[in-house]
């Protein structure tokens, strides 16, 4: 095991300063035991902790670092923007630039509004859908995580699932009374709910490729049913692509599925590693947002120059020097190697593009019910076996891992070798 003395000391201090010692529960190691590793720097596909240990990174800041850490073009763009000023509280040309890039690349987006996070994007999209339709009810799916929005923090995945608090204290009954929670990939269950509530449903929101109960893809039948029912009943279909946007393809999961939502929420990659989110979609819906319309949404730092610079530089690189063919080859190589691990532990591997999960469950994993049956204790032991070998995987069975364009074939092979050793150690 690497020497983690400084990390442990820093975390012990952090516990007295911040709730649980972290600023997001996904960073806590509650699902794997022990205390979080404290990092000092990242370069390419590697992270270095404050004790000087180096790891191949498959978190990538939970998805944003698709180009790897400290990509030269992104660093240069942020540095140049910082020299001109951090924030003006007024429009800049950088906002136009990134808006054009988003509209160019995401099939369903005709207009876009920039915000500061994925949570803000989903919160705003829900409010917009209600304002546009004049309806109240929202349908979401168990195991899909849409940020810490009160009305959506019901049967959530990610850290909420890891910590066993799918319904958070502080979320009132009134906030969730209009939220219907259904089973993911259950076409019949969804149809029945729409038969009963369809004329009251403002929006149906889902992760088309889920990353917060592990990597789970919406089936073609399920995605088509959602689109058809929402069109027929006048509900707004929202794809939460905060994680899958620009990750599984340049056009996101909607490109992979061949289904266009009415609204799309974005985050993570769209900000290039800095705090930025966005929501966008059909022009007639987006025109309802203040000041063009009456649906209120605002943010002092929305579209700030540093975040838009990082995001625009990242998207430009993805467009002009597409890494997707390379990412597919690397990810396929890793998935094939992890399948050998799955056979040792009675698990399965699920992958869409460069995001994937080694489930400690035979699978296939189609819904939260399936994912929740995974052997999380064994996954926790597997995680620490990988740490000992210099590989940084998600600190929860319910989080997807990510391959970056900075990984090499030798990195992937080193990871497979380490994972096979780790799987043998816990089998």
Does position 172 have pLDDT exceeding 90, yes or no?
A: no
Q: What is the pLDDT of residue 156?
A: 55
Query: Using one digit for the tens of pLDDT, what is the confidence trace for 195-250?
Result: 999 999 999 999 999 999 999 999 999 999 999 999 999 999 999 999 999 999 99
Domain with CATH 3.90.1150.10 in the chain: 5-66+323-426
55 labelled catalytic: no
Of 49, 57, 186, 240, the active-site residue reads: 240
What is the chain's Cα-based Rg? 21
Of 268, 279, 370, 379, the catalytic one is 268
Predicted local distance difference test score (pLDDT) of residue 128: 98
Q: What are the strands of the beta sheet with 54-57, ordered from one edge?
A: 39-43, 46-49, 54-57, 391-392
What mean pLDDT do residues 250-273 have?
97
For the residues of 225-291, what is the DSSP string, one character each?
HHHHHHHHHTPEEEEE-TTTTTTSSTT-HHHHHT---SEEEE-GGGGTTSS-EEEEE-HHHHTTBTT
With bands split at pLDDT 50, 70 and 90, how would you rate the model's confidence at 54?
very high
Among 11-20, 174-183, 234-243, 328-337, name the one with the lowest average pLDDT: 174-183
For the cut 90, the answer to whether the pLDDT of residue 330 exceeds it is: yes
Q: Report the pLDDT value the prediction gives residue 182, as an integer from 0 to 100.
A: 95
The contacts of residue 282 (CB under 8 Å, 6+ apart) are 108, 110, 262, 263
> What pTM did the predictor assign?
0.95
CA 55 to CA 33: how far, in whole Å? 19
Taking residues 300-328, report their average pLDDT.
97
pLDDT of 223: 98
pLDDT of the residue at 167: 56
Average pLDDT, the chain: 95
* pLDDT for 42 beyond 60: yes
**Mapping DSSP to helix (H, G, I), strand (E, B) and coil, where does residue 204 land?**
strand
Instruction: Given the residues 55, 58, 145, 279, select the one marked as catalytic.
Output: 145
Active site residue 324: no
Give which of 309, 291, 242 is closest to 63, Cα–Cα.
242
CB 56 within 8 A of CB 393: no
Reply yes or no on whether the pLDDT at 296 is more than 90: yes
**Angle at the Cα of 212 from the Cα atoms of 207 and 214, rounded to 5 degrees:** 105
Coil, helix or strand at residue 391: strand
pLDDT for 155 beyond 90: no
Q: pLDDT confidence of 257, banded at 50, 70, 90?
A: very high
What pLDDT, on the 0 to 100 scale, is given for residue 151? 79
Looking at the predicted structure, is the pLDDT value of residue 2 above 70? Answer: yes
Q: According to CATH, where is 3.40.640.10 located in the chain?
A: 72-320
What pLDDT, on a 0 to 100 scale, did the predictor assign at position 163? 39
Asked if residue 306 has pLDDT above 50, the reply is yes
Q: Is 49 a catalytic residue?
A: no
Find out if CATH 3.90.1150.10 is the number for domain 5-66+323-426: yes
Q: For the structural domain made of 72-320, what CATH number should be given? A: 3.40.640.10
- 8 three-class SS: helix
Predicted confidence at residue 164, as pLDDT, reads 37
């Amino acid at each position: 095991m690497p020497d983690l003395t400084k990390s442990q000391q820093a975390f012990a201090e952090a516990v007295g300063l911040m709730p649980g010692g972290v600023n997001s529960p996904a960073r806590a190691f509650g699902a794997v035991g022990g205390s979080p590793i404290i990092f000092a720097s990242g370069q390419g596909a590697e992270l270095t902790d404050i004790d000087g240990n180096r790891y191949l990174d498959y978190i990538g800041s939970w998805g944003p670092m698709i180009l790897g850490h400290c990509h030269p073009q992104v660093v240069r763009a942020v540095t140049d923007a910082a020299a001109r000023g951090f924030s003006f509280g007024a429009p800049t040309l950088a906002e136009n630039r990134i808006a054009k890039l988003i509209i160019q690349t995401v099939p369903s987006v005709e207009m876009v509004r920039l915000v500061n996070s994925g949570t803000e994007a989903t919160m705003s999209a829900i409010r917009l859908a209600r304002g546009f339709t004049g309806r109240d009810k929202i349908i979401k799916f168990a195991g899909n995580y849409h940020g810490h929005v009160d009305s959506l923090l019901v049967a959530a995945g990610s850290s909420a699932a890891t910590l066993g608090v799918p319904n958070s204290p502080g979320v009132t009954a009134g906030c969730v009374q209009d939220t219907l929670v259904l089973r993911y990939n259950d076409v019949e269950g969804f149809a029945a709910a729409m038969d009963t509530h369809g004329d009251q449903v403002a929006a149906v929101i889902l992760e088309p490729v889920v990353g917060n109960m592990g990597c789970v893809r919406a089936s073609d039948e399920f995605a088509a049913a959602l689109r058809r029912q929402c069109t027929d009943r006048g509900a707004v279909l929202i794809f939460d692509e905060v994680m899958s946007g620009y990750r599984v393809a340049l056009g996101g999961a909607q490109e992979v599925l061949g289904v266009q939502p009415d609204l799309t929420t974005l985050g993570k990659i769209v900000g290039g590693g800095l705090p930025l989110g966005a929501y966008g979609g059909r022009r007639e819906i987006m025109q309802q947002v203040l000041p063009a319309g009456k649906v209120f949404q605002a943010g002092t730092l929305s579209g700030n120059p540093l975040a838009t610079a990082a995001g625009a530089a990242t998207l430009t690189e993805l467009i002009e020097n597409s890494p997707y063919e390379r990412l597919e080859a690397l990810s396929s190589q890793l998935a094939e190697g992890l399948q050998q691990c799955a056979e040792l532990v009675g698990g399965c591997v699920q992958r869409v593009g460069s995001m994937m999960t080694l489930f400690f469950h035979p699978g296939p994993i189609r819904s939260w019910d399936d994912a929740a049956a995974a052997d999380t204790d064994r996954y926790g032991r597997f995680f620490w076996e990988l740490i000992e070998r210099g590989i940084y995987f998600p600190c929860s069975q319910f989080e997807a891992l990510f391959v970056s364009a900075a990984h090499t074939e030798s990195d992937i092979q080193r990871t497979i070798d380490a994972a096979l050793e780790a799987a043998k150690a816990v089998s």
